[in-house]
Amino acid sequence: MPSSRSGRGPAVADRLLTPAEVAAIFRVDPKTVTRWAKAGKLPSIRTPGGHRRYPEGPVRALLAGRPT
Is 56:16 a contact under the CB 8 Å cutoff? yes
Measure the CA–CA gap between 49 and 54, rounded to whole angstroms.
Answer: 15
List b or e across 2-41, with b for residues whose CB sees 16 or more CB atoms inside 10 angstroms: eeeeeeeeeeeeeeebebebbbebeeeeeeebbebbeeee
Residue 33, pLDDT > 60, answer yes
pTM of the model: 0.75
Residue 13, pLDDT > 70, answer no
Is 13:55 a contact under the CB 8 Å cutoff? yes
Residue 21, pLDDT > 50, answer yes
